């Protein structure tokens, strides 16, 4: 009997994950086109093949759905793993010099941007007119700032950069903005390799250049 209950519990969990994934996939399509403001949750539910009541049970609100979509799109999965515990952080920290660290981070950054570009550029556009989207965009900006401040702190503590942490974070935060990727890769047709080279060259040059804000 205990084995049967475990099986039923695992089956329900799998179904719940599949339902959640279907809703997120539908939102990823519809929040981009026709857009967040123009998409009612009934449309998302219909695209996902679930009842709208199920959508509300899983996410609670349209804003919560958008927030979850942004988080999952950035992370690449739905696992609650904090940033410092992500594998790429350890890989970056293991590199021995500035450009090697930037090159390793650029690999991760390009993978994330390729995955999130459509959703995040749509969110940036929606944020100009919709308060809910604006709040989530602001949270993303603040999350990126915290992440880049951590990265900057590591670079300074490693002795590879002599500038103040905040000044280093400014450079890292600006260079990682999704709109750089959107313009260069999606609009101008750069390859992923070209974007990575641009990132490493630009950031390393700024952090090594004494003419940049001290």
Question: The tokens of 200 are what?
Answer: 């490493």
Sign of the CA dihedral running 84, 87, 90, 95:
negative
Q: Which residue has the tokens 């490493």?
A: 200
Average pLDDT score over residue span 124-142: 92
Residue 84 is predicted with a pLDDT of: 60
Domains and CATH numbers, the chain: 1-61 (1.10.10.60), 81-214 (1.10.357)
Residue 21 · residue 78 · CB < 8 Å = yes
pLDDT for 96 beyond 60: yes
Q: Give 115's Cβ-side CA count (13 Å radius).
A: 16
Of 206 and 10, the structure prediction assigns the larger pLDDT to 206
Whole-prediction pTM: 0.81
| pLDDT-based confidence at residue 8 (cuts at 50, 70, 90) | low
Radius of gyration of the chain (CA): 20
In this prediction, residue 82 carries a pLDDT of 60
d(CA 16, CA 101): 39
Give dist(CA 169, CA 203) in Å, integer.
Answer: 11
Q: What percent of the chain has pLDDT over 70?
A: 87
Cα–Cα dist 77/61, whole Å: 21
Higher-confidence position of 80 and 34:
34
Q: Average pLDDT for residues 52-64, to the nearest whole number?
A: 95
Is the pLDDT at 80 greater than 60? The verdict is no
Question: Which of 55-64, 65-74, 167-176 is predicted least confidently?
Answer: 65-74
The count of residues in the chain is 214
pLDDT of amino acid 5: 61
Q: How far apart are CA 155 and CA 170, in angstroms?
A: 13
């Amino acid at each position: 009997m205990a084995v049967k209950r475990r099986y039923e519990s695992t089956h329900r969990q799998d179904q719940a994950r599949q339902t959640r994934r279907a809703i997120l996939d539908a939102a990823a399509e519809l929040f981009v086109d026709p857009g967040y403001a123009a998409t009612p949750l009934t449309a998302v539910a219909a695209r996902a093949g679930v009842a709208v009541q199920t959508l509300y049970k899983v996410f609670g609100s349209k804003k919560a759905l958008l927030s979850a979509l942004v988080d999952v799109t950035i992370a690449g999965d739905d696992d609650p793993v904090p940033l410092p515990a992500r594998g790429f952080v350890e890989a970056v920290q293991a590199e021995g010099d500035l450009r090697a660290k930037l090159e390793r981070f650029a690999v991760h950054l390009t993978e994330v941007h390729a995955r999130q570009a459509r959703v995040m550029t749509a969110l940036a556009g929606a944020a100009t007119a919709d308060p809910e989207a604006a709040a989530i965009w602001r949270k993303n900006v603040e999350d990126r700032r915290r992440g880049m401040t951590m990265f900057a702190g590591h670079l300074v503590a490693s002795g590879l950069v002599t500038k103040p942490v905040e000044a280093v974070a400014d450079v890292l935060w600006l260079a990682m903005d999704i709109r750089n990727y959107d313009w260069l890769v999606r609009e101008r047709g750069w390859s992923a390799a070209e974007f990575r080279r641009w990132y490493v060259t630009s950031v390393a040059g700024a952090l090594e250049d004494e003419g940049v804000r001290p």
